Amino acid sequence: MNEPMSFQEFREQVPIRTQGGSCAVTPVVHMFQGKWKLEILYGLCVKSPLRFGELRKMLGGVTNSALTGALRELEADGLILRVQFNEIPPHVEYSLTTKGEDLLPIFYSIAMWGLKYIP
């Protein structure tokens, strides 16, 4: 893996707008769009793996179909891993992939910023 560029290198090398016309963070923001995705990812950052029912209980108010849809999208984006256990009774567990685990310091930074500036 390449070493990440410094903030100064980022400011000098990354254009404000990409060839597609968006800024560098737009694709990331689109990946996280949806009412439940950030909360699911944060929950899996705090405790992983989690079963479907544990996620539903943690989120409170989410419908089964909304949770299923968000989980499928996060799995398609390579952020979470779904493991099905063919036991009696069958169950499914969700955990972060390595790509998803890379979000841990980002969530920490966002949480620290929120604790500092949002009452």
> Judging by beta carbons within 10 Å of its beta carbon (0-12, 13-18, 19+), is residue 47 exposed, middle or buried?
exposed
Write out pLDDT tens, residues 15-59: 777 677 677 778 888 888 989 999 999 899 889 899 999 999 999
Q: Report phi then psi at 107, rounded to 5.
A: -65, -40
Is the pTM for the entire model greater than 0.75?
A: yes
Span 76-91, average pLDDT: 93
DSSP 8-state class, residue 90: -
pLDDT at position 8 = 87
Q: Report phi then psi at 89, rounded to 5.
A: -75, 150
pLDDT at position 1 = 53
pLDDT at position 12 = 79
